[in-house]
A and B are shown apart, each in its own frame.
Chain A
Amino acid sequence: MVQINPSILLVDDEVPFVETMAKRLAKRDLTVDTAFGGREALKKLDSGGPSTIDVVILDVKMPGMDGLETLAAIKSAHPNVEVIMLTGHATVESAIEGMKGGAYDYLMKPCEMDLLMSKVNEAVDKKRAHEAKILDARVRMHALRRES
């Protein structure tokens, strides 16, 4: 299997935050795309397809479509994509809600880059392992068909 760089979608309404964070993640050999709101993020996921983006880093508190709504939409349209929630102190409860809604993990803002990287890597591994299992299952199914 060819190991390609994990692909990340960074979603937050704070433009300077998104821009700088994107640069830092790119420097750590991640493929980074950005969105400044929930709808934009969904659009990017839809156009790119689930295979191009592995992990979404999603701010909980955003005007318009907030983090939790976005999470629900992502999980229903692209169940394989892992989501890491970013939250301020006041919205930890929403982060927990997000975990219940299928988010991989959450981090407090501002966050340690090392911690974020390790979470991203874990999430990517999980997603890829999961995809591998699906692939495996498909191969087995085809083999069974051929035998019969």
Chain B
Amino acid sequence: MRLNPSRPNRYYRALTRNLVLFVVVVSLLPLLFTGAILLYQFEQAYQSKVEEHLEVLLKKHRRTIDAFLHDRLADIRVLTRSLTVAQMKDSSLLQTKLNLLREEYNGVFVDLGLVDPKGLQVAYAGPFNLIGANYAGAKWLERARADEYFISNVFAGFRGSPHFIVAAHKRLNGQDWLLKATIDFETFNALVENIRIGQTGFVFILDRKGELQTKPRQEVVLASGAWREILALPLKEGKVTIIEQADSLDRETIYAAASLKNSSWIICAQQERSDAFMHLLRAQQAALVIFVLGGVAIVLVSLLLARRLVRRIAEADSQKEAMNEKMIEAGRLASIGELAAGIAHEINNPVAIMVEEAGWIEDLMSDDGPLSEETLAEIQRAVQQIQEQGDRCKQITYKLLSFARKTDPTVKEVSINRLVEEVIGLVSQKSRYGGVKIITDLSAGLPPVAASPSELQQVLLNLVNNAVDAIESDGGTVEVITSQEQGDIHLTVTDTGIGIAESNLARIFDPFYTTKPVGQGTGLGLSICYGIINKLGGEIKVTSVKGKGSAFTVTLPADQNNNPASASAEQAEQS
């Protein structure tokens, strides 16, 4: 505990800074952790939600498209089964059937045609004049002949516009006739093109070679990147594959694919990640905004509070300092009060002698007749005695006055030895009646101490007073020793009194702690000594054995200005 009369602003600034840091860290860390954990969990949940959504969507549309293709095939198969080859060769009958189908299915079917075993289209109903068109050698025809039923990829063909063919066989006399129907690309395309996922997501269909089967709503890059990877993968029937990658424009994109049409086509979906995760991103942004605003608020509030708090502390500190000054003053008066009884007696004795001598002179002068030689001599002796006792009174009042004057905190050069002698003079009467012998062992030539004489005097008075009080009626010895050790001056007050119990040793410098009976001690003496010695940059120590006595040692730095030897020694230590 070092009492520093004027704490530097640096101390309060550091205090403010520490308070702010502490509050900010303690309040922001949990916020940060909670936010991070919640966002992470939310992101995980959202990721699986997005993937699940894509999966469900793709599966659903895969089924829809498979069903669509299957139904169209079924339509043609019904025709091949219900009509004979001869009937089918009749273009007008085909036209009737086409009209029926177009009515029923909203123009999904564009045309119907019968291809003979040689690959010539022998009958045709539809908007183009394709009777006699020779498909021999066309790839789709070869494939169609190989399979029972056939749905072609999208291709341009004779008409030069994208379409695909649905075909079914009709066998007659071991010859293979083929009824083919062209499916309107636009209708089929609309099935897929109109599927929207969020703002940026869309769906399209590829064949296994990576040829587009529908028109994607946006340009897609198939030659490289994610789609190339997906095409290289063995896609399992009924399973959706999802990967995430940056697209050609460096936007994080989610790609999903599932096979359909007996694994010959792939239904594909792609969506920008920022779109799929829009809600997550919004939550993240909101969290960030809240965190930043909250953080700013916390910093501002803690700064404000810390400043206010530190200002209060500074005020309390200065009040405490003022209180300390007052306490020293009060303690001083209290120690004088404790001495008052002894001093009153000390003055009373010479006064009593003077009164008696005066009475004696009166007695002598009241005798009748002229004064004898002897009587005159006796009167003279009495007068001299009165003068002597008057002198004694004067000295006592002088001693007392030197203590009773107001505490002057001005620092001067103080000779410790002279101070000891003054204090012992003041306490001597009290100690004489207590049967206490005061011994001094003052080291000659001590350097002066830079201190307030009245404050240091008070420390000494308290220590010597306590030492005398510690000795009980059967008498004892108080020894005051001064000595010098390097730059320090030691002052030791030892008594052979009752000592201090070990349990009390730690508390004796506490204010208001006293073992004296109520009304006899304020409990301020030693705490004031402690404060004064600390202020002077010294220290006060105590050793005590219960029943044997105590020793108080005060160590004070000698006045540096008057002690060049110790000053240079200090400098040497510092460097």
Q: Contact residues of A with B, CB < 8 Å?
A: 14, 16-17, 20-21, 23-24, 27, 61-64, 66, 88-91, 109-110, 113
Contacts and interface: CB of A to CB of B under 8 A. Distances in A.
B353 A91 contact: no
A90 B433 CA distance: 13
B1 interface: no
A88 B363 contact: no
B348 A109 contact: yes
21 contacts: A14-B349, A14-B352, A16-B353, A16-B357, A16-B385, A17-B353, A20-B356, A20-B360, A20-B382, A21-B356, A64-B435, A66-B433, A89-B348, A90-B341, A90-B348, A91-B341, A91-B345, A109-B348, A109-B349, A109-B352, A110-B351
Pairs A-B, 6 closest by C-beta atoms? A110-B355, A110-B352, A90-B341, A88-B348, A20-B356, A88-B345
Given A27-B363, A61-B433, A66-B433, A20 B357 contact: yes
A61 B348 CA distance: 11
B60 interface: no
B359 interface: yes
Nearest to B357: A20
Contacts of A88: 344-345, 348-349
Contacts of A17: 349, 352-353, 356
B360 A23 contact: yes
Given A24-B356, A88-B348, A110-B348, 7 more contacts: A14-B352, A17-B352, A20-B385, A63-B433, A89-B348, A90-B345, A113-B359
Contacts of A63: 432-433, 435
Given A24-B360, A89-B344, A16 B355 contact: no
Contact of B344 (A62, A90, A113): A90
A23 B433 CA distance: 26
Contacts of A20: 353, 356-357, 359-360, 382, 385
B99 interface: no
A64 B357 CA distance: 26
A67 B153 CA distance: 137
Contacts of B341: 90-91
Nearest to B436: A63
Interface in B352-393: 352-357, 359-360, 363, 382, 385, 388-389
B389 A16 contact: yes
Contacts of A89: 344, 348
A97 to B, nearest CB: 14
A4 to B, nearest CB: 23
Contacts of A16: 353, 357, 385, 388-389
Contacts of B352: 14, 17, 109-110
A57 to B, nearest CB: 12
Contacts of B345: 61, 88, 90-91
Most chain A CB inside 10 Å of its own CB: which residue of B342, B353, B388, B433: B353
Contacts of A14: 349, 352-353
A70 B348 CA distance: 21
Contacts of A24: 356, 359-360, 363
A25 B352 CA distance: 15
Contacts of B363: 24, 27
Contacts of B433: 61-63, 66
Interface string B67-99: 000000000000000000000000000000000
Contacts of B357: 16, 20
A27 B363 CA distance: 8
A24 B363 CA distance: 7
A16 B356 CA distance: 9
B455 to A, nearest CB: 28
Interface string B464-482: 0000000000000000000
B391 to A, nearest CB: 13
Contacts of A27: 363
B352, B355, B388, most chain A CB atoms within 10 A: B352
Nearest to B351: A110
Contacts of A66: 433
A24 B360 CA distance: 6
B362 to A, nearest CB: 9
B379 to A, nearest CB: 12
A110 B389 CA distance: 14
B382 to A, nearest CB: 7
